[in-house]
């Protein structure tokens, strides 16, 4: 899933390989973990001064249909995106919204099967840990 092949993969699916899409794709790989549209835009501000936020959203949407990127489940608010490269789970701080990546295996087959039973085919499973992060822990309730 090298970023160099992104151009080619875009064209295969009938999309144009624009500099913006390629840049967003590269930025996502560089940020790796998870990023908001705003963070992506900021990361690219230097190289692409004119890059607009709606364009980032549009690019992320295309990358999503390609399967390169997906949205992370959060407790509302800002949308987080991540690359699909290496699957992992997330710990979200319910106070400040910080997201931490977790590299751990989970037993999700029963849940996936339950989902299939109610009609969700070819679905993916994701574990979300919700709690208080270290920094928020030592503060006023």
Partner DNA sequence: CTTAGTGCAAAGGCTTTGCAGCAAT
Partner DNA sequence: ATTGCTGCAAAGCCTTTGCACTAAG
For residue 4, the partner it binds in its own copies, DNA, none, with Cβ less than 5 to 8 A by kind, is none
Contact between 58 and DNA by CB under 7 A: the answer reads: yes
Cα angle 50, 56, 62; round to 5: 135
Q: Which of 6, 35, 43, 51 binds DNA (CB under 7 A)?
A: 51
Which residues 69-98 are close enough to bind DNA by CB under 7 A?
Answer: 76-79
Q: How far is the CB of 45 from DNA (least distance, A)?
A: 11
**How many residues lie near its own copies (CB under 8 A)?**
47
Work out the burial of residue 12: count CB atoms within 10 Å of its CB; fewer than 13 is exposed, 13-18 middle, 19 or more buried: exposed
Q: Kindly report the backbone phi and psi dihedral angles of residue 69, in degrees, each rounded to the nearest multiple of 5, phi listed first.
A: -135, 150
d(CA 16, CA 47): 20
Which residues 78-97 are close enough to bind its own copies by CB under 8 A?
Answer: 78-79, 89, 91-94
d(CA 126, CA 71): 11
Contact between 53 and its own copies by CB under 8 A: the answer reads: no
Contact between 100 and its own copies by CB under 8 A: the answer reads: yes
β partners of residue 93: 131
Residues that bind DNA (CB under 7 A): 7, 10-11, 15-21, 36-38, 48, 50-55, 57-59, 61-62, 76-79
């Amino acid at each position: 899933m090298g970023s160099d092949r992104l151009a080619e993969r875009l064209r295969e699916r009938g999309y144009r390989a624009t500099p913006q899409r390629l840049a967003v794709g590269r930025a996502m790989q560089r940020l790796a973990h998870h990023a908001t549209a705003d963070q992506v835009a900021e990361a690219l501000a230097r190289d692409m001064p004119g890059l607009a936020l709606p364009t980032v959203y549009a690019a992320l949407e295309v990358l999503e249909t390609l399967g390169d990127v997906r949205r992370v489940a959060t407790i509302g608010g800002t949308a987080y995106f991540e690359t699909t490269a290496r699957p992992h789970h997330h710990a979200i701080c319910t106070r400040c919204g910080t997201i931490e990546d977790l590299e751990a295996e989970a037993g999700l087959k029963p849940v996936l099967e339950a989902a299939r039973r109610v009609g969700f085919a070819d679905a993916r499973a994701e574990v979300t840990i919700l709690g208080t992060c270290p920094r928020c822990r030592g503060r006023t309730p």
